[in-house]
Amino acid sequence: MPVASPKSSAGRSSLMSLQPVDAAPFHRPSSAWLVWGSLILVWLASLLPWRLWQPVPDMLLLVLAFWCLYEPSRVGLLTAFVLGLLMDVHDADLLGLHALNYVLCAYGILRLHGRLHHFNVWVQTVHLMPIFVVAALVSRLLGAWLNGEWVGWDWLWTALITGALLPLADVLLLLPQRRLDGDDGGSV
């Protein structure tokens, strides 16, 4: 078999010159001010009494889950545990139930992190919905066992609505980054 000379293959494209069709999955990291500022702002808003109405979504869990998905190097299990403990102390509830819920959600999201970046936000929402429900179920079952009474099924609506709001969190929390990416798009 004849071997092609380097001169004859110079006109061909190589694998090194391939560019992605859609560069959207290759986003730059969000600023630390945006990540921690949004978490602190939502935590402060979660201290208000509106959060105790049923079935209000757990906005702190939503923002925490979003940043676990998009910035796992900054927001992880320790952040989820600390925020959960803060919510437990604020609610004067059994210490650790919110922390368990938040840590289980963060763990599930971090386990699926590599797979979820191949999908758009709607498919991510479908994948994350069972994580929100199972984590809430585990913490509610433990709370019912420790308290000796079942509190009802209102928590299920809270978990489903929290999971369904992930596309809204995607739009709002990545808006500053999309503005920057939009400005860079015209320079190519």
Q: What is the mean pLDDT of each run of 10 residues along the chain (188 residues)?
A: 52 56 57 92 92 86 95 93 94 90 96 90 94 95 90 88 94 79 51
Cα 173 from Cα 30, distance rounded (Å)? 9
Collapse the DSSP code of 5 into the 3-class scheme (helix H, G, I; strand E, B; otherwise coil) and give the result.
coil
In order of 26, 121, 148, 170, the CA distances from 32 in angstroms are 18, 22, 42, 17
Cα 2 from Cα 46, distance rounded (Å)? 72
Contact criterion met (CB below 8 Å) for 84 and 100: yes
- The CA-based dihedral angle spanning residues 21, 25, 26, 31, taken in that order and rounded to the nearest 10 degrees: 150
Contact criterion met (CB below 8 Å) for 147 and 94: yes
Q: Closest Cα partner for 172 from 59, 77, 7, 17? A: 59
The string over 122-138, giving b where at least 16 C-beta atoms fall within 10 Å of a residue's C-beta and e elsewhere, is eebbebbbebbbebbbe
Cα 76 from Cα 120, distance rounded (Å)? 22
pLDDT given for residue 150 in this prediction: 85
pLDDT given for residue 28 in this prediction: 67
CA angle 147, 83, 121 (to 5 degrees): 105
pLDDT given for residue 166 in this prediction: 94
User: Tokens in use for 56?
Assistant: 């209000």
Cβ-Cβ contacts under 8 Å for 137 (sequence gap 6 or more): 155, 159
Residues listed for the chain:
188
Question: What's the pTM?
Answer: 0.79
